[in-house]
Amino acid sequence: MENIPRDKLLGIYECMLRIREFENKIYYLFIDGFIPGTIHLYQGQEAVAAGVCANLRKDDVITSTHRPHGHAIAKGVPSGSLMAEIFGKSTGCCKGKGGSMHVGDIDVGMPPAIAIVAGGIPVAAGMALAFKFQKKNSVAVSFFGEGATNEGVFHETLNMASLWNLPVVYICENNLYAASTHIEKAFKITDIAKRADAYGMPGRTVDGNDAVAVYSAAKEAVEQARAGKGPSLLVCNTYRHGGHSRGDACTYRPKGEKEEWLKKDPLIIMENMLLEAKLLSADGIKAMKEKAEQEMIEASEFAKASPLPAPEQALEDLWA
């Protein structure tokens, strides 16, 4: 942590706060009936998106999942257009056609999130392949849950990406549950990072609730990819505070498990670090929280005030 500039650390913390505030806001807006469909919230996993994306440039790209709000914020999708998209409004980042599970903004390097499990893994390799052809030193980063590593396409792609030495980084967010299915019921192994060995790429595991640890590990992986030294797999162990989707009461979780993880809340860990290192005061934290809160109030006002798309807009955008 000593060798990470203060601005970088504050930037990561601010990003985490913004994600938390955004998701908290969405949670209540959903209950209040502003959001159609369903939502998959990211509270608890903020350190991953924030820590990884702090290493990325605007011309780097990411792929995301059915749980994409945190990745979108961390990659720089403006909170207003993000929220409007989740509302299904015409001012949304996908004009209301994508919705919560498909947010993205290519201007900041995020194609629409892919809600088919593992669907983004090969797409990221393809984007990295293009960068390689084009001799750009941009990097593709793919986020996915531990459940996705049991899809065939994960294995197919890691082999190919390694063989072709692609500038891609695979970020596995291990939050213990694939929807309701605990990792012990879906894996014989306990260390998912070992799967990288089978494809000849480095695999590492970090505490996914420790944003500084995530940042540092991702920095290495991103620098390696950018330098033309090939892909890697980084497993971030974390926990989602809420259910899989809005209707999930988490009855499959053992009693007390969530409470244990709440003690390891990534925001608390980060705040304590910043306070101890005297990089930020309690007042400074309060001010940053208020700023994030204010931003998300404004985002929700923007989304509420935005018009719905005209029905005929359904006919647009099919063909290039």
13 is catalytic: no
168 and 128 in contact (C-beta within 8 Å)?
A: yes
* Interface residue with another protein, options 27, 130, 151, 279 (CB under 8 A): 151
240 is catalytic: yes
**Pairing state of beta strands 177-178 and 232-237?**
unpaired
Give the amino acid at 77. Answer: V
Q: What is d(CA 2, CA 21) in angstroms, rounded to the nearest whole number?
A: 28
- Interface with another protein, residue 96, by CB under 8 A: yes
Q: CB-wise, 31 or 277, nearer to another protein?
A: 31
Tell me the three-class secondary structure of 102-142, residue by residue.
HCCEHHHCECCCCCCCCCHHHHHHHHHHHHHHCCCCCCEEE
Question: Min. distance of Cβ 159 from another protein in angstroms?
Answer: 16
- Interface with another protein, residue 98, by CB under 8 A: yes
* Interface residue with another protein, options 6, 58, 185, 194 (CB under 8 A): 185
Coil, helix or strand at residue 65: coil
Q: In what order do the strands lie in the sheet with 61-63?
A: 61-63, 140-145, 168-174, 232-237, 203-207
- Interface with another protein, residue 77, by CB under 8 A: no
Rounded (5°) CA angle 161-163-167? 40
Coil, helix or strand at residue 221: helix
Part in contact with another protein (CB under 8 A); list of ranges 83-91, 167-175, 217-225, 230-238: 83-91
- Interface with another protein, residue 26, by CB under 8 A: no
Question: Min. distance of Cβ 291 from another protein in angstroms?
Answer: 30
Q: CB-wise, 97 or 264, nearer to another protein?
A: 97
**Ranges within 229-258 binding another protein (CB under 8 A):** 248, 251-252
252 is catalytic: yes
| Marked catalytic residue, from 204, 246, 252, 253 | 252
Encoded one letter per residue, x for contact with another protein by CB under 8 A and - for no contact, window 101-120 reads xx-----------xxxxx--
CA 250 to chain centre: 21
CB within 8 Å of 300: residues ≥ 6 apart: 25, 29, 34, 83
Catalytic residue positions, numbered: 240, 244, 252
Residues of the shown chain interacting with another protein in the complex, contacts defined by CB under 8 A: 36-38, 66, 85, 88-90, 94, 96-102, 114-118, 147-148, 150-153, 178-181, 185-187, 248, 251-252, 308-315, 318
